[in-house]
Amino acid sequence: MDKQRIYRQMGISPEVYRLGMEAEKSLAERFAGFDEIAGYNHLKVISAMQKNRVSAECFHSSTGYGYDDYGRDTLEKVYADTFHTQSCLVRPQIACGTHALAVALSGNLRPGDELLSPAGRPYDTLEEVIGIRPSRGSLAEYGVTYREVPLLPDGSFDYPAIRKAVTPKTKLAAIQRSKGYQTRPSFSVKQIGELIAFLKKIKPDLICMVDNCYGEFVDVIEPGDAGADMMVGSLIKNPGGGLAPIGGYIAGTTECVQNAASRLICPGLGREVGASLGVNRSFYQGFFLAPMVVKGALKGAVFAAKVYETLGFRVVPDSIEPRQDIIQSVILSDRERLIAFCEGIQAAAPVDSFVSPEPWDMPGYDCPVIMAAGAFVQGSSIELSADGPCREPYAVYFQGGLTYEHAKYGILRSVQRLLEKGLISL
């Protein structure tokens, strides 16, 4: 089998291929560690499915009001048991991760309450949800105030400042696990648990919510194991396993989840309403596969880190640091490099490989953003994708890949594109 030959047929030159193979050889020990984590998490999911007696009946669809949807209700128990929370809401009516976060926040905050972000500025799309940037229907319009505590220069929590920021009005603390469009390290579940314990000592009734997007199944523990009252995520990221066509989840205490359900549907109906519309089987099967899909994405992220640090770029995290999510950032320091990187990822896609991504003014962002995402599910970032805001330091954020082989090919294609445009040299 001449693997180099098929890579050459798919646009990868011999020198780029050699760069990739040398990087891959050095990562054998790291890859073995990801195999161990994925194996444990896979068994954890299977155990939850067996405990809740998942059967073929669970795959049946409901329409209309969706009353007594056995498959939907059982799936929510599977999620809760896997994530070690009291309850969970898993619904196709949740459009994306930002929507899930907005539902969790608005369901658990009331006029006069204060929202605290102890980990600095949240992800761009939450700025309008909160009202940091004025927007119709924001929490600010409903009388919820907001306070944030910047991280220290080394990316750690500023505990003295957090203590001062908690007031009698502080109702909920939102902690973003992943880095978003920042170049800080992502937080480990252990770090998040320490922060939650600190916050609870100051104000025991404070609701601690973790934005868990991109972090599910990266570790053998989740924020629910570390004291989070809520953990929130998107099904077109890690837990959907590439099969969920839409959806999000909110897992946590019974009260927090019920409050979120009343906001998602309406007061009085809550979680009893919401048809599954034929997606139950995809949700179950995607969750079953998710630990293995995440493993491939993690291998792809570390491969990307190794290749680009070899080329002399700063990467966060680097190829030997512990992983807390599937996102790999590469500081390209140049707009044309950012565009070329995304062109390479798009060219490696199984869908729309022939189109060229361009920066555009996406809703929810304050500057043009370029996104490469030739995916089976639109916007699915557990599939091979890369994106970044067109602003300094021109960092690209690479994530996903339903298989490691695809993630590896995408990275090699990005290097090839940069080389062809004369933006790097080997």
Strand order in the sheet with 170-176: 87-91, 248-252, 230-234, 207-211, 170-176, 114-117, 145-148
Instruction: Report cis status (omega within 30 of 0) of the bond before 393.
Output: yes
- At residue 183, does pLDDT exceed 90? no
H helix intervals, 150-274: 159-165, 189-202, 254-264
Give me 339's structure tokens. Answer: 């565009």
- What is the predicted pLDDT for the residue at 266? 95
374 torsion bin: left (phi>0), alpha (psi -120 to 50), beta (else): beta
In this prediction, residue 304 has a pLDDT band, given cuts at 50, 70 and 90, of very high
For 152-168, how does the pLDDT look when each residue is reduced to its tens digit (9 = 90+)?
999 999 999 999 999 99
For residue 360, pLDDT beyond 90: no
DSSP 239: G
3-class SS shares of the chain: helix, strand, coil, % to 5:
45, 15, 45
The first and second tokens of residue 264, run together, are 């998602």
- The whole-number average pLDDT for the span 235-259 is 98
Distance CA 4, CA 8 (A): 6
Could you report the per-residue pLDDT of 60-69, keeping only the tens digit for each?
999 999 999 9
Cβ–Cβ under 8 Å, residues 372 and 386: yes
Q: What is the pLDDT of residue 79?
A: 98
Q: Put residue 367 in one of left, alpha, beta given phi > 0 → left and psi -120 to 50 → alpha.
A: beta
**pLDDT > 80? residue 364:** no
Residue 76 CB contacts under 8 Å (≥ 6 apart), including other chains: 87, 88, 89, 90, 271
Residue 398: what pLDDT? 95
10 Å CB burial of residue 363 (0-12, 13-18, 19+) is exposed
Residue 406 vs residues 232, 240, 266, 354, 399: alpha-carbon distances, Å = 27, 18, 42, 17, 11
User: At which residue do the structure tokens 């959907």 appear?
Assistant: 240
CA distances from 26 to 38, 319, 414 (A): 20, 10, 20
Q: What is the pLDDT of residue 185?
A: 86
pLDDT, tens only, 100-149: 999 999 999 999 999 999 999 998 889 999 999 999 999 999 999 999 99
What mean pLDDT is reported for the chain? 96
- CA–CA dist 278, 234 (Å, integer): 18
The pLDDT value given to residue 293 = 98
Do the beta carbons of residue 248 and residue 97 sit within 8 Å? Answer: yes
Q: Is the pLDDT of residue 395 over 90?
A: yes
Neighbours of 6 (CB within 10 A): 10
Per the model's pLDDT, the better-predicted residue between 181 and 97 turns out to be 97
Q: What is the pLDDT of residue 7?
A: 94
Which domains are delineated in the chain?
Answer: 3-41+288-420 (3.90.1150.60), 58-277 (3.40.640.10)
Q: Under DSSP, is residue 91 helix (H, G, I), strand (E, B) or coil?
A: strand
Q: What's the average model confidence in pLDDT over 61-83?
A: 97
User: What is the distance of C-alpha 73 from the center of its chain?
Assistant: 24
**pLDDT on residue 180:** 79
